[in-house]
Chain A
């Protein structure tokens, strides 16, 4: 005959219960909310890098054109 405390401990795994589907959805939304600013930051940085590379290419092309004419 088990003691009440032992009984409870021994039967803990029988009490496992799956939560409703909306729990994962809520959790995923919460995770998305914290992830987005980081993504936006990276996207913003990527746009600047592309713009800078384009500018360098244009300057290089102008310089090549200018010196080739001379």
Chain B
């Protein structure tokens, strides 16, 4: 009973927030920004190497959220909708800077790639630093598949590549990460 009531409160709070956002209420916009900017900034930083580019994408992404709030239908989570906008903004920024190159395009993809388990005590931040060493093509596919939960067909459509390229980029990204970790002694 208590749980249902908490869920109702959350739903009401989100509905109220969206209503205020539709009226372009600055306090509501600031509240939403404060609530989601740490998460969305970490999303942007994984796609765009430099902090400046990530902050630029964050400004553009939130601007889109506020100016296109009427297009949020209420189906699906609001956070997911905001996150999707941020990812699109980052992909646009990546394409604007330079066309995405996918090294090892259409490489031989094993049916059952080796599983790679973490044996060393490695922090998440260290993993993020490792991810920064990946070429943009590998990193983008890795982010979309692992963190956004995209399927290969969706990645292929989003990036305008083949499904096989998406699969090979992911496997090559994993391979590269494994080598980098070995080099660093993990």
Contacts and interface: CB of A to CB of B under 8 A. Distances in A.
Interface stretch (B72-80, B91-99, B114-122, B152-160): B114-122
B152 to A, nearest CB: 14
Interface of B: 24, 26, 29-30, 33, 37-39, 41-42, 45-46, 54-55, 58-59, 62-63, 66-67, 115-119, 123-125, 127-128, 146-147, 174, 177-178
Interface in A1-51: 1-5, 7-9, 11-20, 22-24, 26-28, 30-31, 34-35
B125 A15 contact: yes
Contacts of B124: 8, 11-12, 14-15
Contacts of A12: 42, 124, 147
Given A3-B116, A14-B123, A19-B38, 5 more contacts: A11-B124, A16-B38, A18-B37, A18-B41, A19-B58
Contact count band on A: 20 to 34
20 contacts: A1-B119, A3-B117, A4-B118, A4-B177, A4-B178, A7-B118, A8-B127, A9-B146, A12-B124, A12-B147, A15-B125, A17-B38, A17-B42, A17-B45, A18-B38, A19-B55, A23-B41, A24-B33, A24-B37, A27-B62
